[in-house]
Structures are given as structure tokens and as C-alpha cells.
Structure 1
Amino acid sequence: MRFQFFAEYRGSLSRAHLCRMMQVSDRGLRASRSGPPSRRQRRDMILLAHIREQHRLSLGRYGRPRMTQELNELGIHVGQRRVARIMRDNGIQVLRSRKFKRTTDSDHSFNIAPNRLNQDFMATAPNRKWAGDITYIRTREGWAYLSVIIDLYSRRVIGWAIGNRMKQGLALRALDMAIALPRPPHGCIHHTDRGAQYCAHEYQKRLRRHKLRPSMSGKGHCFDNSAVESFFKSLKTELIWRNAWQTRRDVEVAVFEYINGFYNPRRRHSALHGK
């Protein structure tokens, strides 16, 4: 510990003065600097390699708690304080997000469904509660719009579609994907905002055909659909804002890889206690 203090200290005292104060010899200090790393230092170096790898796999998103959980599941038993120290000492930081902007066209004459979800984002089994929304992504050839549907039990994206127009057809493509894969039981709640895409006749007809119960957020209540907002925030922080996108096709390929290669199979969700 004393030699470590010497290595980290950058004050105005001379080395000889510090040696006398800390009761160590100048020869011992030189040996500590030229000798092999200690057992603890070697373990920290191994742990640092694992942290860097998980930092890369998580797209720079995991902070101390999730990083510690990931390492423990890999059989590397370490505490949060040690993980935080190594990340801090080596400049490994969580990438921060920018402000998220919503786009919802609620100025229409379609019927509005009641809020059956009522901000209860937990489900007891798969395909009991779904939530959907649409966001936008800037590319050099114009806006790309992403529609998603998320199963609130697992937080997995079960339906998604990208297009150049934020119309009903985009939302229907995401819905059709979600319906085709898990075959939801009758009575599954389908929650969205009040956008015209979701209130339109064909979309509501599709919900009735598959016995899905429509649910819609209150006007101006962004927290009513915060589960999907959280996904969009993660997507933009971990993928979208890191690149200047040339085409909508580039975005589509990248989103496919993100959802199927990281978000669905690997990402830990704080709402599910890091699972």
C-alpha cells in the first residue's frame, strides 16, 4: 500500500522526504517500481480485460451495477466497488444520452381506447401486455421511421419495421411481425399512444381480428408508455447517435443487428432487476 501511494502521489515533497515519512527505503521504492506486479495488480489486469470486453459487448452502456452482474454471471466474483475503481482508473465510462423527442399525431377524429395498462409495465407471463410506438432517425437521404412492439414481460422487441413515412402501414408491419411470431393469447393488452396510425380503422380492425385489447396513453402523458420510450432512448444512445447514417437501408441493417444481436438476447433491463 505504501509503494502504491508513492506511485500515485504527485505532490511537491521530495522522494527522500517521503521515504522517511513513510518509513521505507529508497532501494525498496526503486525495487517496487522495477519489480513484477503484485498478485492484486495481476488480478486487476485480468479483471480489466474482462471489463473492457463487456464494455464493448454492451456498446458502452453498462455502468458499475450491470457490469458487476455480468462479470458475476461469467463466474468472476467481484464487488461493485472494485469494478467502479478499475473502470474509473482506466477511463471506462458509460456513454450518456441526449434529450429524446417524441412525435405523435393525435390531431384526428378516430376513436380513442381507454388506458387499460395504467402505467403497470410488469406482466406475469409472456404475451399478456404489449406496448408499441414510433420514433424517427435522421439519414442523409431523409428521415427513417422505426415502429416497434415490445413484450412487457421480457422487454424483448417482438415486432418492428422501418420506413420513409410515419403512416399506418408502418405500424401494421410491426404488428404483423409481432402477431406472426408468438401467437398472442386472446385478451393480450396492446398499448400505444393516441397517434393516428394506431387509432386508424384498419389497425383497430387487425387488433379485433386477433382478440387484442387496445389501450392508449392519456393525452400528453408520456410516462404512460415509458417502457417503449426507454427502448428508444437505449437504441439512440447505444447505436443511432454514434453514427452519421447515409441511407435508410443502413439504418435498417444496423437496427436489425442491434435488436437481434444485442438487445433481445443480451441486454440487461433495470426494470427486470438487471435480468
Structure 2
Amino acid sequence: LCQGRDMKFAFVAKHRSIWPVAWLCEALGVSRSGFHAWFNRSPSEHARHDEVLLERIKQSFQSSDRTYGARRVWHDVLEEGLSCGLHLIERLMRLNALRARPRRRGLPKDAGDRAVIMPNVLDRQFVADRPNQKWVADFTYIWTAEGWLYVAAVIDLFSRRVVGWSMNANMTAQLVTDALIMAIWRRGKPDALLHHSDQGSQYTSEQFQRL
């Protein structure tokens, strides 16, 4: 219990320049008087041990490009001769916001079947005389802490503005379909226009072609 309280006091001391001490103490369930008494006395043996341990944890975590969780960090710490339990590593990482992110995988590949290949009607004529005459569409992917995020967009060549978009964790026909549905809805359901995209399986799918 004492060790857990010291860790909370250490968290308050580290973040007192960002948030009021009273708020931090209330959130962590400790008293302000107890914090000030702890802060003004010399560091205990446990606190000094935790400081050394935290530095080793940060070294292991950063050298893994922030992909190591508590268990792998713990093995690194043990290999360096420091004695501690896995639970302590988990608490120190949690209190210091050391959260592992997934390793970046290889670039995503389009493995879908291409059902329909339409002729290139646009033929690189990227100029439009009026709104809702020519739309171009594509999607890209962005690496995030939770993995790949796919973003689809539809652009009106007259204004060069995005008129429809969507985001999804999966590279499916639904991703590009949602972007086109938004564009149609936002532009008042135009009667006829040219929609141009690449030959990716999402755009040549039966689902998208029906739309």
C-alpha cells in the first residue's frame, strides 16, 4: 500500500505543473497534506528504486520503437540485473503513459477480384466546365496507433473540392461506396455525370457498379 501511494505521489509531482495538485490528489484518492509531506522529505529507498527502474523501462520501450508491452519490457529489465515483478512494470508504464502500439506491418495489398473493367472515358481531360460534370475518386491509407486506416474521397474537377469521403479500418468496396453516396447526397443527386477511378477491386466490384 505504501509503495502504491508513493507511486501516486510521484505522478502528482510530475504533473503538478500541468494540473492543480488538488485535482490530481482527488483523482488519485490521496490527500494533499500527505503529498506535500511526501514531497518535502528525502526520497525513500522504494522511490529511488522506482526512479532507476523507470529509466530502464523507458530505455527498453523507446528502443523497441514503442512496441514493447509490459511483459517484454520486464524481460529486458531482468536481463539488466534489476529485481522487480511484472505488476510493478505494468503500474509504472501505466502511470507514465507508456502504452505499446502495434508494429507497423507491410503496406496493404489489394487482393480482391476485379469484376468489371470500364473504358477510360475521362482520358486525362481533368478540366470541367460546370459542377457535377466530372468526379474523380481514389482512396489511400494512413498508419495509426491502431493499425491501417483507409480514407476514400470523391473530388469535383470543376471546383477541385472533395464532395464525398469515408473512412474504414478495412479496404473494402463499402469504403468507396460510402464516399460516393455522400457525394451524391451532398450534391443533390445529380442526374448524370462522369465518375472516374482506378481499376482497383473496390471500384470494379459488383456492389460499387450497381450503385
Shorter-normalised TM-score: what interval? 0.3 to 0.5
Higher relative contact order (CA 8 A, sep 6+): 1
TM-score, normalising length: structure 2? 0.47
Name the larger-Rg structure.
2
TM-score, normalising length: structure 1? 0.36
